Chains A and B, each alone.
Chain A
């Protein structure tokens, strides 16, 4: 199984540009989420989804949009990138509430 797959792994954006970080899982997990990790800090939750068509905000949602049209995919959109969004982004999934959460390998984003 591929598990949780994120693309791209590295991206450089100019301020004001838009882009989408892709996340896909092949484990039929209901729950998916996006975290960001800044240097020397733990992960912080951006948005999460408990199933197709359902999304909600996490701790740091501003500047990001998400949608969940299928069980497998949970893209994270930056509509107008800012230097403060320079970070490492991790997608995660779990089968249901209470199950172990598994993470992707990360997407390194730099906004200049």
Chain B
């Protein structure tokens, strides 16, 4: 079973910020939060990841609550090309073989509307 809970779908107006929530209430101290997206018929694309601090890159921002039980991915100015399924994944990152695996849930289908 996936260790995260996401809404199945969301809409966002073009040019507005898209805020995608994720619950991971059973996250362990050595697990990171990763976000990927999958545009129709393409391979999953890495967006951002974090442990406990908020993170920002050229694609998005990641806000993790202080208790680390939930997070929000923010796309600051959504465009039509951001329409995709967004996956929130918790992942152990250490030297063990299990840290190589990503466990995907069903994600959130984000529709950016003109």
Contacts and interface: CB of A to CB of B under 8 A. Distances in A.
Contacts of B95: 97-98
A33 B43 contact: no
A contact patch SS = strand
A45 interface: yes
Contacts of A90: 43-44
Interface stretch (B10-18, B20-28, B68-76, B98-106): B98-106
B29 interface: no
A14 B45 CA distance: 32
B93 A100 contact: no
Nearest to B44: A103
A112 interface: no
Interface string B49-78: 100000000000000000000000000000
Interface in A81-98: 90, 92, 94, 97-98
A42 B2 contact: yes
A56 interface: yes
Interface of B: 2, 41-46, 49, 87, 93-97, 99-107
